[in-house]
Amino acid sequence: MVGDRTGWHKAFKAGDAAQCVAVMHRAWTELVAASPETFRPGEKEHHLTELLCQYLADTRASTRLTGLWSYENHQGRLDRKNPKGMVVTQRKRTDIRYFSNREDPALNLIFEFKKLDHRKTARDGYISEGMLRFITGEYSIGQPLALMVGILTIHRNDTLPALHQWLDSPDAKSLLFMETLKTGQRRVPSAFFEQAAFDTEHLRPCDKAPSHGTIVISHLFLDFPDLPRTAKSRSRRQTTSDALEG
């Protein structure tokens, strides 16, 4: 990739990445409508991503994309100095990957999915088991951009504000090695994908970073029809309604 911190943007935008994200977003919408009995908030996360990836592979011919979709792609590092002989270490399985060698450099776009609701435990998982895999972890080594995909199981108005607030905090800047952008610690809207809500940018260790030193994470949030509101929100709405009626 181009060595300066913004020089790769133009080349990246000219490739298939934007179309790739648009196709995924459309596939999710189509599955929610076509199979609500299996594609539902209560379904296990890995079942949802497996169904989604298979649907993307099956419908690839209807898009202009020529690359390959893969699910739980196994990756690792070869340790040649192990006293017992060569072994594979740092094993990982990415949720969904789109790869195309039609571009130069090849497009290797990783999508990491995490269920997300109004609870702190869900936000913590989105960060520690999601975002950090692209920062201090082993996902998207040497890549300039990746996707975090939040699967919303509670209405987005009850889910996203607390995540936004935390990502804008000093604690997030420190933990996630966040860069300050023109709009703060989040770039709103995303500079790369119409469907994404925002981008964040993070310093990576030298052995994991592209040549310009940072990775951009675009944040995409997918949901289901008629998601419930939290009890707190319902109570707030009822109080407002009672006041208006009174």
pLDDT, mean of residues 8-32: 92
What pLDDT shows up at residue 88?
Answer: 45
String of DSSP letters for the chain: --SSTTTHHHHHHTSSHHHHHHHHHHHHHHHHHH-TTTSSTTS-HHHHHHHHHHHHHHTGGGSS--SEEEEEEEEEEEES--TTS-EEEEEEEEEEEEEESSSSSPEEEEEEEEEE-SSHHHHHHHHHTTGGGGTTSSTTTT-SEEEEEEEESS-HHHHHHHHHHHHTSHHHHHHTTBPPBTTBSSBSS-SS-TT-SEEEEEE--TTTS-TTSEEEEEEEEE--TTPPPPHHHHHHHHHHHHHHH-
What pLDDT shows up at residue 81?
Answer: 65
Q: Is the model more confident about 30 or about 14?
A: 30
Q: How confident is the model at residue 85 (pLDDT cuts 50, 70, 90)?
A: low
Q: Give the separation between CA 214 and CA 2, rounded to whole angstroms.
A: 12
What pLDDT shows up at residue 134?
Answer: 97
Q: Is 13 a residue whose pLDDT tops 50? A: yes
Q: What tens digit of pLDDT does each residue of 131-154 get?
A: 999 999 999 999 999 999 999 999
For residue 161, whether the previous peptide bond is cis, meaning omega lies within 30 degrees of 0, is no
Residue ranges covered by each domain of the chain:
8-245
Query: Per mean pLDDT, which range of 35-39, 196-200, 232-236 is the poorest?
Result: 232-236
What pLDDT shows up at residue 72?
Answer: 77
Q: Is the model more confident about 128 or about 233?
A: 128
What pLDDT shows up at residue 2?
Answer: 42
Predicted model pTM: 0.86
What pLDDT shows up at residue 11?
Answer: 75
What pLDDT shows up at residue 105?
Answer: 86
Query: Per mean pLDDT, which range of 76-80, 87-91, 94-98 is the poorest?
Result: 87-91
